[in-house]
Each structure stands twice: as structure tokens, then as C-alpha cells.
Structure 1
């Protein structure tokens, strides 16, 4: 069979590609073909991957940029995608011929500009849409986006990367999909361990507590800093990531009198070895889908403290659920950090063996066979 994974505005360097790459390679090892399709230039293309220059989505064409900028300013990005979807889909058909694929998997928000697609496809939802997007608005604007997201995701075949994302889609967005089930992200643990064995980023302390991600409103590094200030501070705290809230976090660390123990390490292109050298990983998020950082931490043998966001309960199972704390609870997070460092559990990829890329790839193949069978 021929598979297409549409990543749209993502690139090879971004997380959407990283959490689909291992599964795609395993599908190919099973004798099928897989193309990744982008409409943002991902750099030199790998194998038969496609970079489509779709007018209205492509960021390199002058006319395309003008069209996108103008209508995004008037309508907002997602409504612009919704309104012009048929225009985008027709361009995709002309360039790749969607009939050449037995099944198309629209990953993440690539489904919005392609919502008018009528070919055999699934939409893979990677995040909690209501919590991550709609909830930030109020009044008429909030009601508008509630309507828009319900329209986008209803009557579609949905796959969600965690039970939490599925609940968000059904109970909060209120979508009525044609079908919906959970399909976890899959990982090649051997590959992860090989990459973790490389040299760690320079100028890191010998031992440290680690957190990573774009410092936006959902990652709640402010909660992490406040909790860290209440711990015994046995190890320095290293936070990887760049964003416009970084200055405010620096100031908060100074106000809490912990700036001497906190390192803002910025963006790190090869962050995997850092997990291997950390004593603890802390996820303080308010919103997650299936947190890749928890997967990477456990694979590295590094224990995790996490808030009850997204798929944390699905990853930190059994005894490891002891260190899941309520979102936004500074005191509970501080206690959990001290507690786990006092008697750290042994963790490894066996804790999350259900995410093995071979197992997940088999499920993708099964879904594709079902869809192909139904089409006939």
C-alpha cells in the first residue's frame, strides 16, 4: 500500500515529524511506501517526500505570502484555512494526485486547510484543541471558535494520540466524528538510546533537574520555578527552550532568589543526550497531548515528575503515577520533586513498551487495510 503522512507547515526539525518518523520507517520495512508531504520548505527532501508549493500556504512565493497575510489578518488563520480549503485541496491533487495513495494521514493542524479532502484519510489529533486553543478566548470570539472547531472535526475519521485528547475532542470541543480512536505515537527505543549516548550539550552541570519546551503559557515554567524554590534544591535546574516569555522567567527566578541555581540553556538542536545526564525531568504543563519529553526521559532512565496534563497517566503507569501532581499546584510539585530525588525509581523503555514503533506501525497498517476494504 501507499501511505501519505501530511505534515503541512511542519519541517523535518519539528516535533510532528519526529513523532511520526519511526513509525513511518517501520511501515516501509513492512513492504509499504510512505511519503511525507510538506507545504513549508523542510530543506533537502528525504527519499520520495514531497514539498508542495500551494498558493496561500507556501511561505516562499510572494503572491502566496500576500494572500495568506491579507486574509489571515481579516479572518484569522484557522478560519482562512477553513474558507479556502477547496482551493488548497485542488492544488494538492494537481501536484501529487491523492488517488495515488491508499490512505492519507493528516497529522496535526494540516487537516484544517485540507478539510475539504474527500479521499480515504484519517486526521491524527496531537493536542487538546479546546484546552490549548479555544479556552484562551472569551465571549463571541470563543463561541465562534467553538463552532469552527466542531465543524472542522465532525464527520471525520479521527485518531487521537492519547485518551485525554480524545476526551477533549468529544467532551469539550463537542465534535461528532464519523469515528474516533486512540493511536499512540510510536518510538524506536534503540534509536533513542543511540542518540542519547552522544556527548551532552556543553556547559551543563554534572547533575541537574531538567525541563524543556517553548516557554509559552501552557508549559507553566513559572509554576516550576515557584515549586523549585520550595524544594531542598539538591541539584540545579536546567530549562531548555526559547520564546518571548523567557525574560519574564528570568526575572521570576531573580525575584524568588533562585537565579544562581537556574540555568536557561536556550534552544538545543541535539537535546536527547541531556535526558541521559539529568537526575530528574519535570513536566509542569497545563496542556499536553502525549508528552514526548516523558517518553524520552523514561527511555534515558531518568525518572519523571509531571502534572496531570495530556497523556501523562498513560505514560507514568503503576508505581510511577505516584509522582503525577495536579496542574498548577506549586506545593504538590515541590513535594514530588523532593520525594522522587530522595528515593528515585528505576525506569527504562520497558515502562512504555506499548509505544514501540513496530506495534504502532502495525496498527496504522491495520487501519489502512480497513479503510481500503471499506472503499471497495
Structure 2
């Protein structure tokens, strides 16, 4: 059997690759050939992975960049992707000789420019699209884009990384897929624990509360700062990540009088090494899919306080569920931070055993077999 994970404009250091590589390795152990396919150069190619330049998507040539920039500026990026999908798909399928694959898995937003070519293959949805894609839109523009996304995700075989993402796709986007089911991100716990033992390149306090991510409107680090200001501030707060909102967060920390207690190290290339000295991880997001940072925290033995965004409720279950608070609730988040530090629970990979990469890989294999059966039944 031969399958491909299509990651498109991603690369080897971004999250789409990080949450798929373990499952790909498990599938390869089963004798299944797995290729990663990129249309942006991801770095030195690994194994059988493929870099396929797509004119109008890839940024490696001036002509492709110019073509994309002109039409995206006129139409808007996703309308451009929507209208030119047949053009993009034809290039991809010609380059990869797609008939040699038994199943294709379009990860993340790769399905938007490639939606005309998904056919009976699979789209893996990693986040809640109604907020990410429609969140700032209003009126006729919101109606138009919602219709476009309904077309893109409709009549497809969708795999979502959490129940919350499933609900969002059906109600928030209003898509009518052929099929929809959950397929969690899979993790090799032993590999992650080993990497967590490597020293971090940053100079950090001996113990701290941490959070991480690009500081965009969905991560709600502004909410975290407000909540932290209301806590006893037993430990400093370290927020990893870089982006255009970072300066606004630093100004907010100053306004709240907590600048001396909050550290913004920027992007951290070896984030796994930072969990080791963290006494608590806090996820303050309004929107998530299946938060990798929560999984990594639990594997490292770091307890978590989280808002009820995305799959947080599916990761923090049983006794750990008491540390899930309503999104947007500053006072509840502050109280949870103080309370959990008084009596921190013991956590480990056992709390997320259902994410074992071998179990998740079996589901990918089952999907590929179903795809083969559908093809042979034609």
C-alpha cells in the first residue's frame, strides 16, 4: 500500500509535520509506504518525501510569486485558491502520478487550493474553521465566504482531530461532507520524553508557569496576562512565541504592572526542552483543534490549566477536567492557576494513552483500505 500526506505550504519544523511524523513512522513499520508532499521547499528532503513546485502556490520562483500576488490581491487569497483549484490540482496530480497512491490525506488548509482534486480521498481538519476563517468577517462577505467553505469541505471524506472540530465543521461552517469522523493526532511518547531531556538553548528561570504559541487573536495571551495579574504570582510567567501582536502584549504587561514577572523569549526552536522546568502550562485560547502543547505538557509531567477550546476537554478528562475553565473567563482562569499550584496533580502520558501513534496509525491504515475498496468497487 502507498499513501501520501499532503502538507503543501508547510515544512519540517511546523506543527503539521510534527503531529503527523510519528503516525507516518508507524505506518512504515507496517510495510505501508508513506510520502510527505510539499509545494514549498521544506528543507533537506527525508525518506521518500517529495517537493512538488506548484505554479501559483509555490514561492520559490519569481513568476509563481508574482502570479499568486496579483490574483490574491484582486480576489482575496482563499477565493483565488477556490477559483484556481483545478489548475493547482492538475499540476500536483501530474507531478506525483496520483494513480500510484492508494489514498491521499490532505492535511490542514492544503485542501482549499486542492479541493477539486480531493475526490474520494481524505481531508484532515486540524482546527475550528468557523472562527479561524470566518471570525473577523461580517455581513455579505461572511455569507459569501461561508458558502465557499461549504463548497470546499462539502461532499468530502473529512477526518477531524477532535469532537469540537467536528461540531464546528457541521454547525459553524455548515458543511455537508460525505463522511466525517475523528482521527486524533498521534504521538510517540518515548521519543518526546527523550527529546525533552535535551537542554534548552534559552536562559530561563529555574521554575515558571509557561504558555506558547503565535500571539494572534485566538491564543488570547491578553486574557492570560489579565488572569496572571490576579494570581499570587508565585512563579514568573513565560510566554513563548513571536508575531506582530507581541509588542502589544508587552505593553499590556507594563500597564498591568507585571512586567517584572512576565518573560517573552520569542520563538523557541527547542520548545520541548522548556517543559522540564515548568510547574504549570496554561492554555488561554478561544480556538484550538487538538492542542499539541497540552499533550506535550502532560507527557512531560507538567499539569495544565486550559480554557474549554477545541479538544482541551478531550485531553483533560476525569480529575484533570476540573482545571478546564470557560473561555474568556479571566477570574476563573486566575483562580484555577492559583488552586492547581497549591495541590498540583500528577500527570503523564497515561492521561493521553489514546493518542499513542500506533493506535492512530491503525486508523489511517483503515481509512486507506476503505479508499482502496471504494476504488476497486467502481
TM-score, structure 2 as length reference: 0.98
Alignment of 1:352 onto 2:352? yes
- Whole-Å Cα distance in 1 between the matches of residues 93 and 166 of structure 2? 30
Alignment of 1:99 onto 2:87? no
Query: Secondary structure of 1:180's match?
Result: strand
**Paired residues for 1:102-251 under 5 Å:** 102-117=102-117, 120-251=120-251
Match of 1:42 in 2: 42
Q: CA deviation at 1:274?
A: 0.5
- Whole-Å Cα distance in 2 between the matches of residues 202 and 159 of structure 1? 37
- Whole-Å Cα distance in 2 between the matches of residues 11 and 96 of structure 1? 18
- Whole-Å Cα distance in 1 between the matches of residues 104 and 38 of structure 2? 13
Q: CA deviation at 1:203?
A: 1.4
Match of 2:89 in 1: 89
Q: Is the 8 A contact 1:291 1:311 kept in 2?
A: yes
1:202-261, Cα deviation, whole Å (9 max, x unpaired): 310000000000000000000000000000000000000000111110011011100000
- Whole-Å Cα distance in 1 between the matches of residues 151 and 18 of structure 2? 29
Q: Is the 8 A contact 1:102 1:120 kept in 2?
A: no
- Whole-Å Cα distance in 2 between the matches of residues 162 and 316 of structure 1? 13
- Whole-Å Cα distance in 1 between the matches of residues 27 and 226 of structure 2? 44
Match of 1:24 in 2: 24
Alignment of 1:276 onto 2:267? no
- Whole-Å Cα distance in 2 between the matches of residues 307 and 120 of structure 1? 36
1:259-318, Cα deviation, whole Å (9 max, x unpaired): 000000111100101112100000000000000000000000000000000000000010
Residue segments in structure 1 that go unaligned for 5+ positions in a row: none
- Whole-Å Cα distance in 2 between the matches of residues 53 and 280 of structure 1? 42
- Whole-Å Cα distance in 1 between the matches of residues 8 and 348 of structure 2? 33
Match of 1:309 in 2: 309
Match of 1:5 in 2: 5
- Whole-Å Cα distance in 2 between the matches of residues 201 and 133 of structure 1? 35
Q: CA deviation at 1:120?
A: 4.1
Kindly tell me: are residues 154 and 53 of structure 1, through their superposed partners in 2, closer, same or farther at Cα, counting changes over 3 Å? same
Residue segments in structure 2 that go unaligned for 5+ positions in a row: none
1:97-119, Cα deviation, whole Å (9 max, x unpaired): 11110000000000011111155
- Whole-Å Cα distance in 2 between the matches of residues 6 and 120 of structure 1? 15
Across the aligned residues of Structure 1 and Structure 2, the Cα RMSD in angstroms comes to 0.8
Query: Secondary structure of 1:54's match?
Result: coil
- Whole-Å Cα distance in 1 between the matches of residues 15 and 122 of structure 2? 19
Q: CA deviation at 1:201?
A: 3.5
1:314-367, Cα deviation, whole Å (9 max, x unpaired): 000100010001111110000000000000000000000000000000111011
Query: Secondary structure of 1:219's match?
Result: coil
| Number of residue pairs aligned between Structure 1 and Structure 2 | 376
Query: Secondary structure of 1:314's match?
Result: helix
- Whole-Å Cα distance in 2 between the matches of residues 82 and 37 of structure 1? 20
- Whole-Å Cα distance in 1 between the matches of residues 241 and 93 of structure 2? 37
Q: Is the 8 A contact 2:120 2:156 kept in 1?
A: no
Q: CA deviation at 1:69?
A: 0.1
- Whole-Å Cα distance in 1 between the matches of residues 77 and 329 of structure 2? 34
Q: Is the 8 A contact 2:82 2:112 kept in 1?
A: yes
Query: Secondary structure of 1:209's match?
Result: strand
1:179-203, Cα deviation, whole Å (9 max, x unpaired): 0000000000000000001113431
- Whole-Å Cα distance in 1 between the matches of residues 221 and 207 of structure 2? 20
Deviation above 4 Å: which 4+ runs of structure 1? none
- Whole-Å Cα distance in 2 between the matches of residues 112 and 41 of structure 1? 19
Kindly tell me: are residues 212 and 167 of structure 1, through their superposed partners in 2, closer, same or farther at Cα, counting changes over 3 Å? same
Q: Is the 8 A contact 1:201 1:271 kept in 2?
A: no
Q: CA deviation at 1:371?
A: 1.4
